[in-house]
Chains A and B, each alone.
Chain A
Amino acid sequence: QQQVKQSPQSLIVQKGGISIINCAYENTAFDYFPWYQQFPGKGPALLIAIRPDVSEKKEGRFTISFNKSAKQFSLHIMDSQPGDSATYFCAAPSRAGSYQLTFGKGTKLSVIP
């Protein structure tokens, strides 16, 4: 069974700063590693995802870095804005070839002006 450890639990960043959230998984996995963003009262929304054959993927201010040998991946939010304040979840496939996802416990990000 896949285990995903996400850190930190909460994060406070000043506007314009860089937010970094880390995830580590235990079992070898394939397909993709997504990050979800969730605002209060809303469902998680896919933010960005990376396939394990790529070490980095960038979309606007959001970047995923993937280290397959260390079984770690991280989300970087550049030039963080108050509108980025939300809870972020990483996820990893529960087992090879599985469509199931195992989620981290989430990071609550607060971006202060």
Chain B
Amino acid sequence: EAQVTQNPRYLITVTGKKLTVTCSQNMNHEYMSWYRQDPGLGLRQIYYSMNVEVTDKGDVPEGYKVSRKEKRNFPLILESPSPNQTSLYFCASSFPGTPSYFGPGTRLTVL
């Protein structure tokens, strides 16, 4: 089954404790991206990757890091999480020039 998976689905952590949210897709998509979704603000892109070892900032990259060492994986790293990063996070992937497929989401709470 074609899908984008994210782990964990739910995470409660404390300020400053480094965390990683994993994302994996099995569709051989070149393009992968991370979004955060907040009430009233819609979906905002954090980072994206055009292919392995090629990443770039989206609209709200501050406080986040990403890496793309393999085509199928695109982890999101929060080196020192803060409460304003409490949000619902989505990973997405696609072939170039086609609509994205989204993962099920990771709900992150930073205390």
Chains A and B form a bound pair: yes
Q: How far is the CA of A4 from the CA of B10 in the complex (A)?
A: 30
Nearest chain A CB to B27 CB, angstrom units: 13
Let me know if A42 and B90 touch, CB within 8 A: no
Interface status of B19 (Cβ within 8 A of chain A): no
B99 touches A43 (CB 8 A): no
A105 B41 Cβ-Cβ under 8 A:
yes
Cβ of B98: which chain A residues have Cβ within 8 Å of it? 32
Contact of A104 among B40, B42, B104 (CB under 8 A): B42
Given A43-B90, A43-B104, A100-B33, A34-B45 contact (CB < 8 Å): no
B45 to chain A, nearest CB (A): 6
Once the chains bind, are A101 and B45 in contact (CB under 8 Å)?
A: yes
B103 at the interface (CB under 8 A from A): yes
Task: Kindly specify which of A11-19, A44-52, A62-70, A74-82 makes contact with the partner chain.
Answer: A44-52
Indicate whether A44 sits within 8 Å of B97 (C-beta atoms), given known contacts A99-B50, A100-B58.
Answer: no
16 contacts between A and B (CB under 8 A): A32-B98, A34-B99, A43-B4, A43-B90, A43-B102, A46-B100, A46-B101, A89-B43, A94-B45, A99-B48, A99-B96, A100-B45, A102-B45, A103-B35, A105-B40, A105-B42
Interface residues of A (CB under 8 A from B): 1, 31-32, 34, 36, 41-46, 49, 89, 94, 99-106
Question: Which residues of B pack against A, CB within 8 Å?
Answer: 4, 31, 33, 35, 40-45, 48, 50, 58-59, 90, 94, 96-105
